[in-house]
């Protein structure tokens, strides 16, 4: 069983890495990019019987900083 976790900064939290990517893209001629928010994707190999709630608990305890980040879980 596999799960994919998407972690992104919450709206309103400054994203300096995203800003640096947007700036670099602009310098490369990609002027159509007006904003970038950067996040992370975590793929998990799970034992059978692991629930989405178990993965959410992993996110709450380790994989995401829920003060500044939001996450979504996708069971693959």
For the domain that residue 69 is a member of, what is the CATH number? 3.30.1280.10
21 membership: H or E segment, kind and range:
helix 16-27
Domain boundaries, position 59:
2-75
The two three-digit tokens of residue 45, written as one number? 């190999």
pLDDT digit string (tens) for 2-39? 999 999 999 999 999 999 999 999 999 999 999 999 99
φ, ψ of residue 60 to 5 degrees: the values are -65, -35
Q: What is the pLDDT of residue 11?
A: 93
43 membership: H or E segment, kind and range:
strand 39-45
pTM score of the predicted model: 0.86
When divided into structural domains, the chain yields a total of 1
């Amino acid at each position: 069983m596999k799960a994919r976790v998407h972690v992104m900064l919450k709206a309103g939290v400054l994203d300096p890495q995203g800003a640096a990517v947007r700036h670099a893209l602009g310098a490369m001629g990609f002027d159509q990019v007006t904003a970038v928010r950067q996040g992370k994707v975590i793929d998990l190999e799970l034992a059978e019987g692991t629930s989405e709630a178990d993965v959410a608990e992993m996110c709450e305890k380790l994989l995401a900083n829920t003060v500044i980040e939001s996450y979504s879980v996708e069971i693959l």
